[in-house]
Amino acid sequence: MRLEVIILAAGEGTRMQSSIPKVLHTVGGRPLLDHVLSVARDLKPEALHVVVGRSGADVRAYFEGTDVAWVEQIEQKGTGHAVMQAIDDVESSAMVLVLFGDVPLIEKVTLEACISAAADGIGVVTVDMPIPDGFGRIQRRSDGQIEAIVEDKDATPAQRTITEVNTGILAAPAAMLVRLLESITARNAQGEYYLTDIVGLAASQGVRVAGVDATSPEEVQGINDRIQLASVERYMQRREAERLMADGVTIADPSRLDLRGTLVAGQDCFIDINVIIEGVVVIGDNVSIGPGCVVTDSELADGVVIEAHSVVEGAVVGANCRLGPFARVRPGTELAEGACIGNFVETKKAIIGAGTKANHLAYLGDSTIGAECNIGAGTITCNYDGVDKNETHIGDGVFVGTNSTLVAPLTIDEGAYIAAGSTITSKVDSEDLAVGRARQRNIHGWVPPTKRK
């Protein structure tokens, strides 16, 4: 059967106390709506309809160029009214799944069960909530079928004791949904058109309404304020950490890992405390990431060790490389096997050969450096002349002494030596020793200014 998804994302989110539309606030480094769109796409729908409100322009701009069909809800008249705005664009033969843009952790398996339950009626996702205040209560018949959903503000004291609550997520055939929506009214405490009212109508007409249990309250937690946002963030991080551990990654403390993107990891990796993973990161086997590191949009091959408090962004790191502590590896860096980038070394657009070491206090930018080179402490590639970035090319087996300044554009051929403390501005040929420093003078009898007084 053809599947179309309607995502309700028109809420203003006033309790967020923010100028940012609620569905653009982030969990795991991604907007809430992005999570919902992702799981919806996993279901392979024929169409994705997203209903937005007064801040819709910002939401549309963020997701510009995607496969979303946007629908505007000019007046906020409830969830039923929101679905009414989109239903005209849905094919009458389709199965419709209704999701919420502020419920980011809903899982594919739950949605598949909901769609299956709607094959001969309506499927509704429910959850048992120990403290159900604020949620619509599920009323069931003696045979277990759902007969109504009663909103909290309209519930009687007896109905408020029910702990099975509505999540808002449901599936129904489009033709049935259209017919039921035409029958609901706004005669309730909120003066709104409740989508949940279609359940009671359907049940009264003999339509089967089946409940589908969510895996946990956290899976279907909607986000209305920053407290709930933080709660969902921590739950998601714990879930992702457990997934990684099940796949063979050792995590020093699952509560102190932040995954703000995706991580694909090999076996026997170790991630220490307070590590942040951003964007798309792929790591091989036996990779170790030390405490306080940030790794963004990078590939780390087998055996890489990143020591404490290092930042790696947009880099490709070869097997058995060692970085840090306190290294900064910036975008465009490529390290061949066994290269070392040590403490307080920064690289940017640097291609560094196998076995090359820059162990201390260096800046290597816009550079190509061969294999088995030694880059001494304090070495700087001067790549910017005030207008353009210029490149430094260093051959294999070059020794660069401590505190050297390499002024680009510059070529240093294989096997050359740069004397410590040199400023090098012109090409150095193979096997040559380049010395670029002033002759030392010792002035005897010099009196410091403080003693002159």
**Contact assessment for residue 170 and residue 124, using Cβ atoms and an 8 Å cutoff:** yes
Give me the phi and psi of 382, to 5 degrees please: -85, 90
Measured CA to CA, the distance from residue 194 to residue 186 in angstroms comes to 7
Instruction: Count CA within 13 A, CB hemisphere, residue 68.
Output: 26
User: How is residue 232 written in tokens?
Assistant: 């969902």
Measured CA to CA, the distance from residue 235 to residue 216 in angstroms comes to 11
Measured CA to CA, the distance from residue 207 to residue 213 in angstroms comes to 19
Q: Which of 256, 224, 255, 201 is nearest to 101 (CA)?
A: 224
Question: 360 catalytic, yes or no?
Answer: yes
Which candidate in 49, 309, 360, 393 is catalytic? 360
Give me the phi and psi of 216, to 5 degrees please: -165, 160
319 Cβ contact list (under 8 Å, min separation 6)? 284, 301, 302, 303, 304, 337, 338
Length of the chain: 453
**Contact assessment for residue 383 and residue 391, using Cβ atoms and an 8 Å cutoff:** yes
Contacts 24+ apart (CB under 8 A), 68-75: 68/37, 73/10
Catalytic residue numbers?
A: 360
